[in-house]
Amino acid sequence: MRICMIVHSLEGFGGLEDIATTLAVSLRRCGHRTSVLCTVWVRPDNQYKRLLEANGVPLVQWPFMPLVRPVAWARAGIPAWMRERSWSTAATAMRRWEDEVCDDMGWGYLTSKHCAPWTRRLLGWWCWAWRPDLIHIHSYVYQLNIAHLLEWTKARGLPTVFEEHQTPDPASDQWNDFRRQINKATMVGAVSQKGLQVMRDELGVYRPITVLPPIVGDPTASDGGRFEPAARSDARPTISTIAHFIPAKGLPHLFEAIAEVRKTHPALRFRLYGDGPQRKAVRASAAPFGLDTDEVFAGTFRRQDLAAIMKGTDIFVLSSITEGLPLALVEAMACGRPIVATAVGGIPDVVQHEVNGLLCPPADAGSLARALLRLIANPEERARLGRAAREAYQRGSFNPNQAYPQYLSMYQETIRIAREDLRR
């Protein structure tokens, strides 16, 4: 089977990126032909780009996009070297230019939102050259939307799965394109039962919908699966979170909660791993709460470093306001971390309050602080919740060996439905 994955972007760090590329690589290893088409410039050192290249999965982009880094060197890197005679300074200037031009100023917009016809031309060329059997669109509706591709694939009779990785908010205008286009998909993917329900009841989706689990390999596999839950009782606990830097992650509420916890636990360590288009705004939102951004913001990490990060974490916290089913949450469960999370989207599907984690209302810093203080004071409860989280991961359908057959079955059903649609 030839399967073309489509993503809006491959940022240096993200759950959608991890799921789409892991799925593409794993299907490739199982003997299927896969490719990934990306509408936005990808850094040459992007970890997902390297993963695809190492496994022979084509990354399809406009041919001018690889020229971005040479232009960045010419416009910023070389002038900085001439002034400072320092290659590290030059590299920093080059990357700053990339950030400003390609992220903050919006190559994402230039190559997708405002140039949808060009995105369709890129897809048209690749379909002509590569002849896919099926298109799998991975979407996270946040300002930008690639649902417009459904009109193109439907007109050509291409079997198409449109998988939305967050729970829709019908009251938001950003879902209007989704509402108009979604029933042109052959199959719709949701990441949780909550997402499926909203699509059916409030967005008018009548096409077949299937719930697709996030694919999470066991981060403890290199340790023989013997990852012990955190139960340290020292006076300096470590709280960690992993988040894409967008408003939906509710990070200002988490910063407020951490500041409250530090009133009684001033030695508390708090680490935020992640990146995203709102990095400047997120860093600025931490300042009013007295957080040292150099200490708190840990940046991104390679997936092979995840187990070590979790091993040093006493409590894992998520403060999302809206959510699908976050990959980071399942990864924390796989590592046996006690979890504090907001009860939004698909999170209650996998975290049961006081059974394998603690759930809080969204946008409620006080509730987050109380839950964190409760676990800090009770190492035995941390250990119990961590063990229960690990058991829930092992029982779930997140393991690749369990998830891939579900994806393949869904692909076969999608092709069957598309053929029936053509005969009508």
* DSSP SS3 for 86: coil
119/256 same-domain check = no
| 387 and 291 share one domain | yes
Q: Is 121 in the same domain as 8?
A: yes
Per-residue pLDDT of 8-18, as tens digits, reads 888 877 888 88
Q: Which of 111-115, 143-147, 338-342 has the highest mean predicted lDDT (pLDDT)?
A: 338-342
| pTM score | 0.87
| In a shared domain, residues 191 and 291 | no
pLDDT over 80 (residue 125): yes
Do 336 and 202 lie in one domain? The reply is no
The closest alpha carbon to 120, from 149, 93, 144, 92, belongs to 149
419 is a domain residue: yes
Dist. CA 57–CA 67, nearest whole Å = 21
In a domain, 144, yes or no: yes
The answer to whether residue 71 sits within a structural domain is no
The pair phi, psi for residue 235, each rounded to 5°, is -85, 0
- Closest by CA to 240, choosing from 47, 375, 46, is 375
Q: Which residue has the higher pLDDT, 419 or 141?
A: 419
Q: Are residues 190 and 229 in the same domain?
A: no
Q: Identify the CA nearest to 158 among candidates 410, 415, 423.
A: 415
Q: Are 401 and 366 in contact (CB under 8 A)?
A: no
Number of domains in the chain: 2
pLDDT at 110: 47
Residue 293 maps to a domain: yes
Sheet of 358-360, strands arranged across: 297-299, 269-275, 238-244, 315-318, 339-342, 358-360
Instruction: Tell me, yes or no, whether 208 and 234 share the same domain.
Output: no
- Give pLDDT, residue 225: 54
- Residue 395 has a pLDDT of 86
Q: Provide the b/e sequence for 351-379 (b: ≥16 CB within 10 Å).
A: beeeebbbbbebebbebbbbbbbebbeeb
CA distance to 44, 69, 179, 301, per residue, from 334 (Å) = 30, 37, 35, 18
CATH number at residue 343: 3.40.50.2000
- 209 shares its domain with 231: no
Residues 62-91: what's their mean pLDDT?
Answer: 89
88 inside domain: no
Q: How does the average pLDDT of the chain come out, rounded?
A: 88
**Which residues are CB-contacts of 422 (< 8 A; sequence separation ≥ 6)?**
157
Q: What is d(CA 115, CA 111) in angstroms, rounded to the nearest whole number? A: 5
Task: Indicate if 155 and 230 belong to the same structural domain.
Answer: no
Residue 97 resides in a domain? no
pLDDT for 259 beyond 90: yes
171-191 per-position pLDDT tens digit = 888 888 889 999 999 999 998
- 235 and 308 inside one domain: yes
Task: Write the pLDDT tens digit of every residue in 209-233.
Answer: 999 878 887 887 765 555 565 555 5
Residue type, 15: G
Which of 100-104, 132-136, 394-398 has the least mean pLDDT?
Answer: 100-104
pLDDT in tens, 269-304: 999 998 877 788 899 999 999 998 889 999 888 777
Q: Taking residues 83-96, what's their average pLDDT?
A: 91
85 is a domain residue: no
Q: What is the mean pLDDT of residues 16-34?
A: 92
Asked if 238 and 362 sit in the same domain, the reply is yes
Residues 159 and 281 in one domain: no
Q: Could you list the residue range(s) of the whole structural domain that residue 382 is in?
A: 221-395
Q: Which residue has the higher pLDDT, 383 or 424?
A: 383
Read off the pLDDT of residues 93-115 as tens digits, 9 standing for 90 and up.
998 888 777 655 445 544 455 66
In a domain, 86, yes or no: no
